[in-house]
Structure 1
Amino acid sequence: MGLFVILYFAFLIIASCLAAFYEKRGVFMMLFSLTLVSFILGIVGGAGALRFIAIAAAVLAFAAGISYAFKEFLVIIAPRNTSKELKTAPLTAAFGMFVIFTYAIAGIFAPWIAPHGESEVISSAFAPADANMLLGADQLGRDMFSRIIYGARNTVGLALLATLAAFLMGALAGLLAAVKGGWFDQFMGRFADVIMSIPSLIFALLMLSIFGPQIGVIIVAVAIIYAPRVFRLTRAVAGNVVVMDYIEAAKLRGEGDWYLIRKEILPNSTAPLVAEFGLEFCFVFLLVAGLSFLGLGIQPPTADWGSMVRENATLISFGDITPLIPAAAIALLTVAVNFVVDWMLWRSSGLKEQ
């Protein structure tokens, strides 16, 4: 039995005993469960399995520490009302906000952060990582790290623009349908059903095949695909508001439709709409990355995470994880946004801790 194994189990047992002594039941259950799992996996996989568990636990602990520190930072700098809400945020939501903040900084300041240009050839094809290239080179000899940084601007920026377009179209149509009702409401509902019945990927591929893989075409196609989803939610939320007494009172005062939307309906529908925006961004982000992987999204030499996975996929056959780095960037942002959206949905649902 190696020294690492002895120190590993000694740390877990001592930490479990301390947690039990100070009556920290949650911490004790977590540590002792980890001890039992480590014991079983250690028998099966040996010291290698224990090292993997230790590394994974250290990464999780580091992520938890960063999330807690970032939440406290936001609590200090935020306005008083927002600060009270942030104090109730779980570590998962804080982690999601930290990841979103990191991606935003990388996208905005990409030319200053990236050591090389996104299309600059600086080495041979598939060159290994060194002091000049942290993640090695791609199939043309371009710096992978620089292209990952620029991809945060291009991929996330395009997804954000497409989400904004879809949300504006769908939310506006849903609010108008709720306020006007009648034939307009019925027509918009049936039109949304028709659009939603078409598979999103097939519709996007058809649009891009006809009009070409241009940025404007991608934004319009994605907006048309996801606007009906936003319409359905907005119509349902606004439909519950328009039947309230204060809406009837506003109508009796002679207020118009735009006044009702701006002053009465939107302020009472903000929370679910903001959460829906986060969910729609995840769907749009994955669709844009998928289109780029198929060669119909952002075109070379512009850096894009989806196309980077496709261009470097041959490295997987040689045991190189380089193609997994842009895929991990896509997955990490999707998970982070979902963490924040889950917290916002919890807040808007009225489930408050007493």
Structure 2
Amino acid sequence: MSRFTSFFRDLPLSGRIGLGLVLFWLAVALVGPALAPHPVGAFVDYDVFSGSSARFPLGSDYLGRDVLSRLLWGARYTVFLGAGAALLACLVGTTLALTAAVCGGWVDEVLSRAMDTLISIPSKIFALVMVAAFGSSLFLLLTITAVTYVPGNFRIARALAVNVVSFDFVTVARARGEGRLHLALREVLPNMIHPLLADFGLRFVFIVLLLSGLSFLGLGVQPPHADLGSLVRENMSGLIDGAPAIIVPAIAIATLTVGANLLIDALKPVEKKG
């Protein structure tokens, strides 16, 4: 707790706001479904696009379902799918980057050219083609969005790793006979953790926006469940009336992504060992 307090105290105001927003949506994703007043797909209001009331704090949607309940459930899909895909992308990308930097030679060349080929494909086009071809199950959405952002993480992680590999302490470790696994995990990786954490945050933001875009096109999480992007798409007809059913999920996406960006920008760089 003292380390978290020290971390929070060292953050600027923008970073504290960002941390608060991120923690808020993480808490909503964790406990929100248990707090939802109605089942996610239940038709509970005879009116559609009704305004805020004591019974429906965020109104009802285009089918008379409780927006608050659907928002609490939708946040879980958006946050956990985004975080899971970002974590998977960073794990795969960083592993390949460490392999390329430590091994060098033809291994580095092959991996770099493969990632260059993959990154040349627009992320949204790749995701749309894969979802259209194989469907939009949660596992497939997780895999597609992770694969889409592996090359970007690889390029950043490789640049960091190649720089660290050139340091004297890595040369000394090689001279005393340490293996490549030791070099990668004990010498190189600890000196690139902070930039990788910042990159993880950026990947999370990109993936949330990509998932929201796919859901807006009807290719994301499927009914009766929905993520935040799906809530925006299905309630588009309420935009003219300014219905909370479309405004609230749009604000939710904005606060989640802006909060993550504020937190990333506020993180201080860590000194490299050398």
Give the TM-score taking structure 2 as reference length. Answer: 0.94
Q: Which amino acid aligns with 1:283?
A: F
Letter in 2 for 1:114: A
Q: Which runs of 5+ in 2 are unaligned?
A: none
Correspondent of 1:314 among 237, 243, 267 = 237
Q: Which residue of 2 aligns with 1:93?
A: 15
Letter matched to residue 258 of structure 2 = V
1:349, CA displacement in angstroms? 6.8
The reply on whether 1:113 has 2:40 as its aligned counterpart is: no
1:1-354 matches, within 5 Å, as 77-79=1-3, 83-124=5-46, 125-344=48-267, 347-348=268-269
Report SS of the residue matched to 1:109.
Answer: helix
- What is the alpha-carbon distance in structure 2 between the residues aligned to residue 319 and residue 231 of structure 1? 43
Q: Alpha carbons of 1:138 and 1:83: their partners in 2 closer, same or farther (altered >3 Å)?
A: closer
Q: Secondary structure at the match of 2:173?
A: helix
Give the AA of the match of 2:231. M
In the alignment, the residues of structure 2 paired with residue 230 and residue 217 of structure 1 have an alpha-carbon distance, to the nearest angstrom, of 20
Residues 73-92 of structure 1, C-alpha deviations (whole Å, 9 max, x = no match): xxxx333xx54443221111
Q: Which amino acid aligns with 2:34?
A: W
Are 2:212 and 2:220, in contact at CA under 8 Å, matched by a contact in 1? yes
Q: From the CA coordinates, give the structure whose radius of gyration is larger.
A: 1
Q: How many residues align?
A: 270
Q: How far apart in 2 are the matches of 1:225 and 1:251?
A: 34
Indicate the percent of aligned positions where both proteins have the same amino acid. 41
Q: Is the 8 A contact 2:56 2:66 kept in 1?
A: yes
Deviations 1:235-273 (A, max 9, x none): 000111111111111112221111111111111111100
CA contact (8 A) 1:166 1:227 kept: yes
- Cα displacement string for residues 225-244 of structure 1 (whole angstroms, at most 9, x for unaligned residues): 10000000000001111111
Q: CA deviation at 1:279?
A: 0.6
Secondary structure of 2:166 counterpart: coil
**CA drift at 1:303:** 2.6
CA distance in 1: counterparts of 2:266 and 2:223, whole angstroms: 37
Asked if structure 1 preserves the Cα contact closer than 8 Å seen for 2:102 and 2:180, the reply is yes
Alignment partner of 2:218: what SS?
Answer: coil
| Closer, same or farther: CA 300–279 of 1 in aligned 2, 3 Å | same
Deviation for aligned residue 1:203: 0.4
